[in-house]
């Protein structure tokens, strides 16, 4: 049966430590987020390497660095997504080596599955029967799947009318009780912690430190897929900021066990109309200024008051990285270029990282031979409406060769 390892839980702001987090998602002293800490001083990459290589690529390959052990995971075989070399990002410098980490290949089509396999496994180890989250869509779709797999009841709060249809369909069909909340994701997030207590449900937003533990495995995969190297740059879309912070934790742990001696520079990319983290980095603020009414076509990152901002600001700054905000037009353009020229169909939020990397490439930010990894967080099929909006439906023609040839020639 699955058990909690010898780990601690540390506040990301004041550093207070807690031994257990049954329902704890925030520091009891200052109210900030918690992260898992593990004593890595006796762990060595040379020892774990062989064990990792004996297991298939994916989240649980890295079990020595996960907070749970003993088997009995709630899994759909998550992680193990491709790292694809792409040529559309390099700008004027073809020597830049750019890659897409294609997280849309996860079981429910987004990176959220990495965190949910660990988070729902933790819920099971606590004998919880009910789980809950607030979501811009992908978290809901993922939690619904893992809850089904574990035989748990699932409640998701989403901004009413504000999530992509594919994600809604996944959550509903996988048996979640979907509650549409009037307002934005931030409004749903504001009520979910208290609602979890009242409904006796285990909270699985990314403020839950077990989620981040699963998500950090993407950094381990990138390291292995680059042949045991650190990329110079890791570019990631930012909503609540959990994912970027998870990559940072992953790379730091690789350094702690002696697998790498250098860390990547992190680039957080937000949509222009929902960019409190990018603003804080660019204006060198200590704290974010929440955006009251976030707007962007990229509904997954339409977040004005990101819960994980302290971790995310710190990660970007510690890495010597930067943050960008890109307009919707650049996001949609990057989405299209990636699909047309590379055959990689991602949802708009995911294309934000590519848009950001393209901009940096054009500005000459990357050095020769830099390795730039863009994290593409979710599959394009999640949000077919936003994709079709640019093209519309093709008109039907008669089922004759002449009509088909005429239609193709007319379109050229
Ligand atoms: C496709 C996609 N990209 C990016 C994000 C942002 O991730 P985070 O909230 O961890 O910053 C989300 C979160 O919902 C998402 O669904
Ligand atoms: Zn604290």
CA of 151 from ligand 1 middle (Å) equals: 26
H-type alpha helices, 227-376: 242-256, 276-282, 309-318, 328-342, 348-362
Nearest atom, ligand 1, residue 237 CA: 4
Give the integer Cα–Cα distance in Å for 98 and 96: 6
Tell me the per-residue pLDDT of 271-319, one tens digit each, with 9 for 90 and over.
Answer: 999 999 999 999 999 999 999 999 999 999 999 999 999 999 999 999 9
How many CA atoms are closer than 13 Å to the CA of 158, on its beta-carbon side? 29
Which-ligand-closest: CA of 348? 1
Nearest CA to ligand 1 atom 9: 240
Nearest to 377 by CA among 111, 138, 117, 107: 111
Confidence band, pLDDT 50/70/90 cuts, at residue 225: very high
pLDDT at 20: 74
CA of 152 from ligand 1 middle (Å) equals: 24
Question: At how many degrees (to 10) do helices 217-225 and 242-256 cross?
Answer: 60
CB 73 within 8 A of CB 61: no
Q: Which residue(s) pair with 134 in the sheet? A: 157
CB 131 within 8 A of CB 139: no
What lies within 8 Å, CB to CB, of 106 at 6+ separation is 78, 79, 81, 112, 113, 114
Least confident range from 34-38, 171-175, 263-267, 277-281: namely 34-38
Q: Ligand 1 in contact with 106 (CB < 6 A)?
A: no
Which-ligand-closest: CA of 307? 1
Tell me the per-residue pLDDT of 17-41, one tens digit each, with 9 for 90 and over.
Answer: 988 777 778 888 988 889 999 999 9
CB burial string 319-356: b at 16+ within 10 A, e below: bebbbbbbebebbbbbbebbeeebebbbbbbbbbbbbb
Q: pLDDT over 70 for what percent of the chain? A: 99
Nearest to 244 by CA among 301, 284, 187: 301
CA of 29 from ligand 1 middle (Å) equals: 28
> What is the dihedral angle through the alpha carbons of 170, 176, 180, 185, rounded to the nearest 10 degrees?
-70
CA of 305 from ligand 1 middle (Å) equals: 13
What lies within 8 Å, CB to CB, of 327 at 6+ separation is 271, 272
């Amino acid at each position: 049966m699955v058990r909690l390892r010898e780990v601690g839980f540390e506040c990301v702001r004041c550093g207070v430590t807690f031994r257990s987090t049954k329902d704890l998602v925030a520091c009891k002293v200052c109210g900030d987020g918690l992260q898992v800490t593990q004593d890595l001083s006796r762990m060595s990459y040379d020892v774990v390497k062989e064990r990792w290589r004996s297991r298939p690529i994916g989240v649980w390959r890295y079990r020595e660095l996960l907070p749970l052990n003993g088997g009995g995971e709630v899994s759909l075989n998550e992680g193990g997504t491709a790292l694809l070399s792409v040529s559309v990002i390099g700008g004027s410098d073809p020597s830049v080596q750019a890659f897409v980490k294609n997280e849309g290949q996860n079981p429910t089509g987004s990176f959220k599955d990495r965190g949910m396999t660990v988070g729902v496994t933790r819920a099971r180890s606590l004998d919880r029967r009910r789980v809950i989250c607030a979501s811009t869509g992908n978290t809901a779709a993922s939690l619904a799947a893992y809850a089904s797999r574990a035989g748990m009841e699932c409640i998701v709060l989403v901004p009413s009318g504000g999530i992509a249809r594919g994600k809604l369909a996944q959550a509903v069909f996988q048996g979640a009780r979907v509650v549409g909340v009037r307002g934005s994701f931030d409004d749903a997030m504001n009520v979910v912690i208290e609602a979890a207590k009242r409904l006796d449900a285990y909270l699985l937003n990314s403020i839950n430190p077990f989620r981040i533990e699963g998500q950090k495995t993407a950094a381990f995969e990138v390291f292995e897929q680059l042949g045991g190297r650190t990329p110079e740059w890791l570019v990631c879309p930012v909503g609540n900021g959990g994912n970027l912070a998870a990559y940072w934790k992953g790379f730091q742990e690789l350094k702690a066990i002696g697998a790498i001696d250098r860390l990547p520079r992190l680039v957080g990319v937000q949509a222009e109309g929902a960019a409190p983290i990018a603003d804080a980095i660019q204006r060198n603020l200590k704290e974010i200024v929440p955006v009251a009414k976030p707007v962007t076509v990229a509904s997954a990152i339409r977040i004005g008051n990101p819960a994980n901002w302290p971790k995310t600001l710190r990660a970007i700054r510690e890495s010597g990285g930067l943050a960008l905000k890109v307009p919707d037009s650049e996001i949609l353009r990057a989405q299209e270029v990636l699909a047309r020229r590379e055959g990689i169909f991602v949802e708009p939020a995911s294309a934000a990282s590519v848009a950001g990397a393209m901009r940096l490439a054009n500005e000459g930010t990357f050095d020769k031979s830099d390795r730039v990894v863009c994290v593409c967080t979710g599959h394009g099929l999640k949000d077919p409406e936003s994709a079709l909006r640019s093209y519309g439906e093709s008109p039907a023609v008669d089922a004759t060769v002449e009509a088909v040839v005429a239609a193709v020639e007319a379109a050229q």
